Amino acid sequence: MGKSVEGKVVLITGAARGIGAETARVLARRGARLSLVGMEPDRLRALADELNATGRGGHVWFEADVTDQEAVDAAVAGTVDALGGIDVVMANAGIANNGTVRINPADALVRTIDVNLNGVIRTVSAALPHVIERRGYVLVVASLASFTILPGMAAYCSSKAGAEAFANVLRLEVAHLGVKVGSAHPSWIDTDLVRDTEDDLPTFRQARKELPGPLGSTTSVEACAVAFADGIARRKRRVYVPRSLAVFQALRTVVISPLGDLPIRLRGRKMVPQMEDEVRALGRSFGRATVAHGGDERAVAAKAAARRDRTPA
């Protein structure tokens, strides 16, 4: 693929908004043809129309929940039928539940892992034969959370660490086939997901502000999309946003050591109970923009309410 995406077919999950949508815009400007996959058909349709209106055309969209293998397979097959193949798959769909393990319903925790890890596996598995055919590239969107931890992020951190590990093993399995595999590790990006979490949980917002350097800084979605597009063009092994996060990954054994735990544990004595109170008052397990259960947040909210009734304040 060299350093150009001109004429390449790129399938992106979680393409309706945020990092996925903005990366699609950057790649389209560089001449790629996009397959936009997600759970919000109105947004996907509007984005495809926007990209096609630039004059190059050749962009398509498919509604699919990445936890539904049949839907993912259909989106991949539709992409191949419409665009002739797949050069790049960017497994980007992701969600984050609110709050701790103690007060979250198990369904919310499992849903986070199902989308962020199993959704990656389902997407990559479905697209891989076509990517192999073109000796293409796979970009698994992991996170800063792959190698750092914060209270309230147990399921999210678990899912992103798993996504990174999946990419690392896949890289070895397909290297002899001419396929490259990368993992992306963005920090806090100015997206609906991050804004919703901070709006819902003031304690979390304050805790993040106290993190040092890039661990607490926010990057624009536009800058993140450019970094992702550059990573795809260069078939990079790692994409860090911002780049300085590479240092923290190199020091991950210190970050998750007893020494690294100490300041968070001291702060957590007050922060964790406050956060749990905020989640109880919120009455839902996901942000407003999250399509949590095929659009049915009520099922999760009902189970969260039942759990709160059984949990002492």
Q: Locate 216 and state its tokens.
A: 């607490």
As a whole number of angstroms, the distance between CA 29 and CA 51 comes to 8
Q: Locate 232 and state its tokens.
A: 């795809």
Instruction: Report the length, in residues, of the chain.
Output: 313
Burial of 304 (0-12, 13-18, 19+ CB in 10 A): buried
Q: Locate 158 and state its tokens.
A: 């678990």
Contact between 201 and 152 (Cβ < 8 Å): yes
Residue of 61, 62, 137, 156 with catalytic role? 156
SS3 for 75-125 is: HHHHHHHHHCCCCEEEECCCCCECCCCCCCCHHHHHHHHHHHHHHHHHHHH
Instruction: For residue 137, indicate whether it is catalytic.
Output: no
Residues whose CB falls within 8 Å of the CB of residue 291, separated by 6 or more in sequence, listed in order:
39, 40, 95
109, 117, 173, 113: which is closest to 140 by C-alpha? 117
Cα 287–289–295 angle (5° rounding)? 95
Cα 221–222–224 angle (5° rounding)? 65
Active site residues: 156
